Structure 1
Amino acid sequence: MIKEHQSLPDAKLSELTDNGMLEHSTHELFSGKKALVFALPGAFTPTCSAAHLPGYVTLADQFFEKGIDFIACVSVNDAFVMKAWGDSQNAEHIKMLADGDGSFTKALGLDMDTGSFGGVRSQRYAMIVDNGVVTALNVEAPKAFEVSSAEAMFNLL
């Protein structure tokens, strides 16, 4: 599993925007930026939709005031699902990034196999990334939602 003070692995993440599909290299996306990244098992799932994403939507402006350049939500879903979910949650200030094949999540060592429920998914976590280096990482225990919340991450800034 990735640890604090390590660089993010280079991987591709997809983002469907109003101007079309973007393919981001993680090295380029995080280069020279301070970002807050949170990941979750799936778009439109109960905890993710009721608490995880909404917390970041609510606190987005305050994160930007504290020096965060962008907030990214990552899930092992496709970019179309991530955009639809972001639109439904008024997440216009959050990059809704799809890790379609789970390669980024696996490279981080933060994948989990949910079997017939959904296959390979991301563990729930949040991290602060400064110029491609993880400076803070909070990984949730299975079925928990505490340390990766927007409020918990805000307290780290």
Structure 2
Amino acid sequence: MTIQIGQPIPDVEIKTIVDGGIHPRHTAELFTGRKAVLFAVPGAFTPTCSNKHLPGYVQHFQDFRERGIEVMCLAVNDAYVMQAWAQSQQVPSGMLMLADGNGSFTRALGLELDGTAYGMGLRARRFALYVVDGVVEQLHVEAPGEFRVSSAEAMLAAVGD
């Protein structure tokens, strides 16, 4: 079942990439007591994810921070891949890169994508959530093959000032 507006973020252990280091954290801890945008990509180093999705959040990172909003990127990739991707994309310090290597958090959100037909296995659907104090306030899930509602620009417009 897909997470819904008004529901709390499920509590799952996940690996975070912070300033070049890999750290295990619980998702409930990451979202409690703060405002955050969590955006998910089907895979690190894939074309739309690397050319549009993550770069938009890197470009607008400070715009979110000025609104008091943390930014987190999620992918069903291992922590080392997420670390290399963050370095290659010049992800700013403070943007959390969440490595959901086994897809546990993605499945708990109900936002998984079966990419086996493309040799990709389980992946995250392309989406963005706006979370306030651990509760989903907005949910924007892309239609297959699209990239509109989960972009940094769309989320900035959705959360307002």
Normalising by structure 1, what TM-score?
0.95
Question: 4+ residue runs of structure 1 moved beyond 3 angstroms?
Answer: 16-20
CA contact (8 A) 2:20 2:83 kept: no
Q: Name the structure 1 match of 2:87.
A: 87
Q: Name the structure 1 match of 2:66.
A: 65
Compute the displacement of 1:61 (Å).
0.4
Compute the displacement of 1:19 (Å).
6.5
Q: Name the structure 2 match of 1:25.
A: 26
Which sections of structure 1, spanning at least 5 residues, go unmatched? none
**Partner secondary structure for residue 135 of structure 1:** strand
Compute the displacement of 1:51 (Å).
0.2
Q: Name the structure 2 match of 1:77.
A: 77
Q: Name the structure 2 match of 1:118.
A: 120
Compute the displacement of 1:139 (Å).
0.2
How do residues 4-19 of structure 1 correspond to structure 2 at under 5 angstroms? 4-18=5-19
The amino acid across from 1:60 in the alignment is: F
1:84–1:112 Cα change, 3 Å: same
Q: CA RMSD in A?
A: 1.2
Deviations 1:82-110 (A, max 9, x none): 01101111112421110010010001110
Looking at structure 2, the residues matched to 78 and 61 of structure 1 have their Cα atoms a distance apart, in angstroms, of 27
Looking at structure 2, the residues matched to 96 and 16 of structure 1 have their Cα atoms a distance apart, in angstroms, of 5
1:17–1:63 Cα change, 3 Å: closer
**Partner secondary structure for residue 91 of structure 1:** coil
Normalising by structure 2, what TM-score?
0.93
Number of aligned residue pairs: give it. 156
**Partner secondary structure for residue 121 of structure 1:** strand
Percent identical: 51
Compute the displacement of 1:66 (Å).
1.4
